[in-house]
Every structure is written in C-alpha cells, then in structure tokens.
Structure 1
Amino acid sequence: MPTYDYLCKTNGKVVEVRHPMAKTVRTWGELCQLAGIDPGDTPGDAPVERLITGGHVVSSASLKNPEPCGGGTCGMPACGGGTCMME
C-alpha cells in the first residue's frame, strides 16, 4: 500500500499515512482517524492537502529475495546482461 504525506495548513502539521490509491483524504479529522492520532485543538473539518513526495525506486537486486530478470526460455524479458537468471 502506498504511503502519502498530508499537510494541514491550519496547524502546519504534516502527517504520513498509508492507504489505497483510490482513497481520498480531505479533512484533518479523516487524516487523524486514518493515522490513529489525536486531532488536538484543530477542527476536524480543517482541509488537508496531499503533498507530492519523491518516489523511491527499489532495485530487486537490493532486496533479500530478488526476483530474477529472465531473458531465456522462461518467457520473462531479458535483463541488461541478456542472461536468464531462472535457468
């Protein structure tokens, strides 16, 4: 599930939450409920905006269980080296 950062201009706080891409968070109250935090003195109907943050690309080689890149008879596309790691 993706992680998103939201800014509440009313209180200046940025909160990070995870939710499906199809979900829309519009208010401080919704955001606090999703994050499991206390809304404090900020009104629940205070608007929030999703911040654009840099995405992270993770190479399968950096994982503990990298997936093979294919390229041989396995039917997967070839990797940069052209050899199939599955064979």
Structure 2
Amino acid sequence: MPTYDYFCETNSRTVEVSHKMSELLSTWGELCDKASIEPGDTPLDAPVKKLLSGPAVISGASRNEAPPCASGGCCPGGSCGLE
C-alpha cells in the first residue's frame, strides 16, 4: 500500500500513513485512526491536507547491472550483487 504524508495546520504536525490510493483522509480523527496514534488535544474534526510527494526511489541498481536473482539466492560469482 502506498504511503502518504498529511499535515494538520491546527497542531502543525505531519503524519505518515499507508492507505489505498482511492482513500482520502480529511480530518485529524480519521488520520489518527489510520495511523494508530493518539489525537492528543487536537479536535478530531480538525482538517488535514495530503502533502504532495514524489515517487519512492530505490537505489543500488544501475541500468548496466544484472537484476537480482529471481530465486532469492545469489548468482554464481556474485554477478547479481547479492551476497
């Protein structure tokens, strides 16, 4: 499931939470429920905004490197980079 950051202006907190792409959280109470955190003194109906974020970047492989082994093990000679 994708991860999103939401910001609450009422308490100036940013919370990261995972949910379906089709789901949108609009209140602090919804966000706290989804993130399994305590709401504290912030009203449950306080509005939250989903922040824009870029795609996750997975580093460690270049276009010239062989992909990791499909078997989950290491390639003979270590050509896959897994050890």
Q: Give me the TM-score of the superposition, normalised by structure 2.
A: 0.69
Q: Percent identity?
A: 58
Higher-RCO chain (CA-CA 8 Å, sequence separation at least 6): 2
Work out whether 1:9 is the aligned partner of 2:33.
no
Alignment correspondent of 2:33: 33
How far off its partner does 1:54 sit? 2.1
Q: Give me the TM-score of the superposition, normalised by structure 1.
A: 0.66
Report how many aligned residue pairs link the two structures.
Answer: 66
Runs of 4+ in 1 over 4 A off after TM superposition: 59-62
Q: What letter is aligned with 1:66?
A: P
Gaps of 5+ in 1: 69-87
Gaps of 5+ in 2: 71-83
SS at structure 1 position matched to 2:29: helix
Residues 33 and 48 from structure 1, CA distance in 2 versus in 1: closer, same or farther, beyond 3 angstroms? Answer: same
- TM-align CA RMSD: 2.3
